[in-house]
């Protein structure tokens, strides 16, 4: 990967249009792949497609599983095609095609239909479908069995936090687990069937994209939720106390943007235990991701080198310390496992210099974000185009940034002046997106990724995520008429001119 100049668009699956409340793996996903091909794009970058937690605002970066797919992305129309649901049944889940999804409403309407489809699969599956399902269960057993039992226990007990289950289940006593697996046989199978249906639909879309010479770029959050089958099943790999509660949690220290820092709350890894195991959990996690994507973005890559550890009883991130992680040993093991480790490092933030030597040594591309390149360090910033490197990925902005038009509206006078002087033209709200798009495409970086919002020149109201905001994140969608032949032709022109076809 990244051996020649190329470009792509950033759009999460949830942001696709859909008649059922949130983007899915149905017809509009294939239409978007066709749009990428028509506009000369080679990459489709998405956010994590793991399962989501309504209690965490449906954030793809706060998943209750490091492996399980987000079943809300299952296309109901495709379930009709394989006769697991009827057209009349899925009509109950229809919602208006607006540019903001009501994720709670979607969850409420869609989950009962998915459960019905799983029941119908158990009763109606053909011999071929049953063979494919059983093969999937065997191949994915290393995570699927724990995930299905964990989720079934949550619903059966009414207690979603595993540390409050009976002591023998918290300790994962083999006899207790065997009893629960036998008792909860039907709900466990329903959970596995939905994961199978998600995997089928994802594989079909991935293969279609590949037939169009489009690579999918995935995303892995570095940490997992405490209340997850990953922590429950591998308690020894996290810094937990005897009751299974985190002794330390992850976050970021205070900085100019946050006086209290950021307390994310995820349990931190016990890295010596991971090293002693040969990083087997990480090997399984990365191998799983590499079946799904051509390239994978590792979120918060700094955490593999050094991480901010906060005592779990502290209410903010003010009190904590930097702790070293075994980045060199970790990457050496990963390189032995995976030929030319196909990852992109999210190396953003004040401590980015801590990981740069490791990225250079292992030839891992980092990220360059133009919106970060025009402050008072415009001459030296790694994000300013003249400082980009070939082995990197250039962005106008990311899912955590405002759209470029929105960034310009909120930019300070220094940044605006620097942009104008750098470009040597008069910059306005109307043309800023086109100028930064051109700079990103002209970058020496082998890969350029544009958020779809910037490709469509959309304003701040179309932002995907505002870090730290209380609500309204992750719900943006485009409407079908926004991607058309005119937009594709414009992208194709700049892609050809900058040698990214």
Determine the Cα–Cα distance for residues 115 and 112; give it in Å rounded to an integer. 5
CB 464 within 8 A of CB 399: yes
Determine the Cα–Cα distance for residues 332 and 341; give it in Å rounded to an integer. 10
Residues of the chain with pLDDT under 50: none
What does the pLDDT read at residue 310? Answer: 98
Coil, strand, or helix at residue 347? coil
Domain boundaries, the chain: 6-365+446-497
Q: Exposed, middle or buried by CB within 10 Å (0-12, 13-18, 19+), for 340?
A: exposed
> What is each CA distance from 192 to 79, 135, 233, 437, 475, in whole angstroms?
16, 12, 17, 43, 27
Cβ neighbours of 467 (radius 10 Å): 12
What does the pLDDT read at residue 1? Answer: 63
Alpha-helix residue ranges (DSSP H) falling in 293-412: 327-337, 356-362, 404-410
Catalytic residue list: 299, 346, 400
What does the pLDDT read at residue 256? Answer: 75
What does the pLDDT read at residue 400? Answer: 94
CATH code for the domain defined by 6-365+446-497: 3.20.20.80
pTM listed for this prediction: 0.96
Q: What is the pLDDT of residues 445-488, one digit of tens each?
A: 999 999 999 999 999 999 999 987 767 899 999 999 999 999 99
Tell me the CB-side half-sphere exposure of residue 274, using CA atoms within 13 A. 22
DSSP 285: H
Coil, strand, or helix at residue 387? helix
- The strand pairing partners of 43, in sequence order, are 8, 215
**And the tokens for 315?**
């209410």
């Amino acid at each position: 990967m990244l051996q020649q100049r190329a470009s792509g668009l950033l759009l999460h699956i949830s942001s696709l249009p859909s008649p059922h409340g949130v983007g899915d793996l149905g017809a509009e996903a294939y239409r978007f792949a066709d749009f990428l091909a028509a506009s000369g794009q080679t990459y489709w970058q998405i956010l994590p497609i793991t399962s989501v937690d309504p209690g965490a605002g449906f954030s793809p970066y706060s998943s209750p599983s490091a492996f399980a797919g987000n079943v809300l992305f299952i296309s109901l129309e495709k379930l009709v095609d394989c006769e697991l649901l009827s057209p009349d049944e899925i009509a109950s889940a229809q919602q208006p095609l607006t540019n903001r999804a009501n994720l709670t409403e979607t969850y409420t309407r869609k989950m009962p239909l998915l459960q019905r489809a799983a029941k119908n699969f158990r009763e109606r599956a053909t011999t071929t479908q049953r063979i494919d399902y059983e093969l999937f269960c065997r191949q994915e057993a290393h995570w699927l069995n724990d995930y299905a039992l964990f989720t079934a226990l949550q619903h059966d007990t009414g207690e979603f936090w595993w540390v409050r289950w009976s002591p023998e289940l918290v300790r994962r006593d083999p006899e207790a687990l065997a009893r629960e697996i036998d008792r909860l046989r039907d709900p466990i199978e329903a959970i596995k069937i939905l994961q199978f249906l998600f995997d089928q639909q994802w594989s079909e879309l991935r293969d279609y994209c590949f037939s169009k010479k489009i690579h999918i770029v995935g995303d892995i959050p570095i940490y997992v939720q405490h209340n997850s089958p990953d922590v429950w099943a591998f308690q020894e790999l996290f810094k937990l106390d005897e009751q299974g509660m985190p002794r330390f949690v992850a976050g970021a220290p205070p900085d100019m943007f946050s006086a209290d820092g950021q307390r994310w709350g995820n349990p931190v890894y016990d890295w010596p235990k991971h090293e002693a195991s040969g990083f087997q959990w990480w090997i399984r996690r990365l191998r799983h991701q590499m079946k799904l994507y051509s390239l994978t973005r590792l979120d918060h890559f700094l955490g593999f080198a050094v991480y901010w550890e906060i005592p779990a009883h502290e209410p903010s991130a003010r009190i904590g310390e930097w702790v070293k992680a075994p980045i060199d040993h970790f990457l050496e093991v990963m390189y032995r496992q995976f030929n030319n480790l196909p990852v992109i490092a999210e190396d953003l933030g004040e401590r980015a210099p801590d990981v740069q030597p490791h990225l250079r040594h292992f030839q891992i591309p980092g990220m360059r974000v133009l919106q970060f390149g025009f402050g008072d360090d415009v001459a030296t910033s790694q994000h300013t185009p003249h400082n980009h490197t070939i082995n990197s990925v250039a962005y106008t902005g990311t899912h955590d940034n405002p759209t470029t038009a929105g960034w310009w509206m909120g930019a300070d006078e220094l940044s605006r002046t620097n942009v104008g002087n750098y470009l040597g033209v008069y910059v306005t709200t109307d043309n800023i997106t086109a100028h930064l798009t051109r700079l990103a495409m002209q970058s020496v970086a082998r890969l350029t990724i544009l958020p779809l919002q910037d490709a469509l020149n959309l304003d701040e109201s179309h932002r995907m995520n505002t870090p730290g905001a209380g609500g309204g994140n992750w719900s943006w969608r485009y409407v079908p008429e926004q991607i058309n032949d005119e937009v594709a032709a414009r992208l194709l022109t700049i892609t050809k001119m900058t040698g990214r076809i």
